[in-house]
């Protein structure tokens, strides 16, 4: 009788694509849903690089979770970070941003925490080579890109000037390729004739990839076309090359023959590798679940953890049939997990069918009017690929305001090469010691 009085409690960890689609699938269900995320917004991660490069603003790629879910009256949002799970007591332990622990009892748990940047055991690289997984990362990268040109303008000598005008990107996947193309466009078009002492078009963009091709997951034909497009833009490709060290003035790499080389670059960006956040390891310890090398949790075909049918793992942090870490996988797995919970609550006795991913394709934007798209047997590149990329991203952007704003920004950027979102702030690490650059002048001695 009590079950009819008290709704079943569903806790969703993560407000990304998987968590959001899971919550939406439970909208009409007689359950009480709590979405837990360390940030109060949903982020459209595939367009982070456009925020970093100054095409789109933060508001065009984010939406407050509370606004998205405001009509879902059975859903509440909680600003906290999950730190542990007591699977026997069915309680999630979460930490508030300013401290303090919250305990969240659950009847059903959906894990949608995504992945974070991995430095393959060299976390010390992060201080000099930021990744791009969060909005904070994108704004930091924007600051580093545009600051580099400003610093080159006032460099003391040619060597320092060239260091500031050299950009090194580690990782030849979609994010690395997209960022490399954007930086070349910024240097060759956006900042053209804006400086007196430097020629921005002479900026070097170096792309380092450990395998023998960029965009290897797109297949040989598209990877070859993408490489040709990058090289025509002036991007220098270094394939079969591993980064062994990164510091404030550049990076050291080793090629497939074992030859070491040093490249001086004041801006190094890391787009290679991901790993699961700590909560995934905590959940694996609690349940005995198996994790892959990146920390993803291996799940059953219905996305549950073996022995724990009330716990479902979705999105990038799940390991199932070697599915890629794509937004489409997260959306579909999140919606599937939400539906299976809804069916269970509604008393449907039929076993859910195994999760099946429908491949909607992959896309990478390289430069104005040039992109590559792979959707099953369909391979598109150049202008046709760019229009397909445009349609795909407009379709999945959350909210009418986001779609309209992005379309207007893309129209301006494509027609004029200008970027409206070039503002950046300086951090404490960028300012010299002593007065100046916004620091207060110390009072005179008495």
CA triplet 275, 277, 278: central angle to 5 degrees? 125
Active-site annotation holder among 81, 108, 178, 275 = 178
**Cα torsion 203, 208, 212, 216: sign:** negative
Tell which residue, 315, 324, 317, has the closest CA to residue 289.
Answer: 317
Inter-residue contact 406 to 389 (CB < 8 Å): no
Can you tell me the distance from the alpha carbon of 235 to that of 129, in angstroms, rounded to the nearest whole number? 19
Inter-residue contact 205 to 183 (CB < 8 Å): yes
Tell which residue, 113, 66, 62, has the closest CA to residue 85.
Answer: 113
Inter-residue contact 131 to 141 (CB < 8 Å): no
Instruction: Please tell me what DSSP assigns to residue 61.
Output: H
Q: Is 276 exposed, middle or buried (0-12, 13-18, 19+ CB in 10 A)?
A: buried
Distances in Å between the Cα of 59 and the Cα atoms of 69, 129, 290 are 17, 25, 38
Can you tell me the distance from the alpha carbon of 198 to that of 381, in angstroms, rounded to the nearest whole number? 34
Q: Is 436 exposed, middle or buried (0-12, 13-18, 19+ CB in 10 A)?
A: exposed
For the question of residue 310 being annotated catalytic, the response is no
Q: Which residues are catalytic?
A: 178
């Amino acid at each position: 009788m009590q079950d009819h009085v008290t709704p079943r409690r569903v806790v969703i960890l993560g407000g990304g694509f998987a968590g959001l689609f899971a919550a939406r699938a439970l909208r009409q269900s007689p359950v009480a849903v709590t979405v837990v995320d360390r940030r109060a917004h949903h982020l459209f991660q595939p367009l982070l690089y456009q925020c970093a490069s100054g095409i789109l603003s933060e508001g065009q790629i984010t939406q407050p979770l509370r606004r998205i879910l405001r009509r879902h009256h059975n859903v509440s949002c909680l600003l906290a970070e999950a730190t542990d799970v007591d699977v026997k007591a069915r309680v999630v332990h979460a930490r508030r941003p300013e401290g303090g622990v919250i305990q969240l009892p659950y009847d059903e748990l959906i894990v949608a925490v995504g992945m974070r940047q991995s430095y393959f055991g060299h976390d010390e690289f992060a201080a000099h080579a930021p990744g791009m997984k969060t909005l904070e990362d994108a704004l930091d990268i924007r600051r580093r890109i545009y600051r580099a040109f400003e610093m080159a303008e006032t460099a003391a000598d040619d060597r320092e000037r060239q260091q500031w005008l050299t950009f090194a990107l580690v990782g030849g996947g979609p994010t690395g390729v997209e960022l490399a193309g954007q930086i070349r466009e910024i240097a060759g078009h956006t900042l053209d004739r804006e400086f007196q002492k430097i020629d921005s078009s002479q900026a070097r963009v170096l792309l380092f990839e450990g395998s023998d091709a960029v965009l290897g997951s797109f297949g040989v034909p598209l990877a070859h076309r993408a490489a040709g497009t990058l090289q025509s833009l002036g991007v220098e490709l270094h394939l079969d090359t591993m980064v062994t060290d990164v510091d404030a003035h550049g990076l050291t790499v080793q090629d497939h023959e074992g030859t070491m080389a040093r490249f001086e670059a004041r801006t190094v960006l890391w787009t290679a590798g991901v790993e699961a956040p700590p909560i995934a390891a905590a959940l694996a310890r609690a349940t005995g679940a198996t994790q892959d090398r990146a920390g993803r949790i291996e799940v059953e075909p219905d996305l549950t953890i073996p022995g724990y049918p009330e716990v479902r793992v979705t999105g990038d942090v799940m390991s199932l049939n070697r599915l890629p870490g794509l937004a489409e996988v997260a959306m579909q797995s999140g919606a599937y997990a939400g539906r299976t919970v809804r069916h269970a609550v509604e008393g449907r006795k039929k076993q859910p069918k195994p999760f099946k991913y429908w491949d909607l394709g992959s896309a990478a934007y390289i430069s104005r009017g040039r992109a590559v798209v792979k959707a099953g047997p369909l391979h598109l590149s150049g202008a046709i690929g760019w229009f397909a990329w445009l349609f795909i991203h407009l379709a999945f952007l959350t909210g009418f305001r986001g779609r309209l704003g992005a379309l207007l920004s893309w129209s301006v950027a494509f027609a004029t090469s200008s970027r409206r979102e070039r503002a950046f702030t300086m951090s404490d690490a960028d300012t010299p010691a002593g007065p100046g650059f916004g620091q207060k002048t110390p009072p005179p001695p008495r």
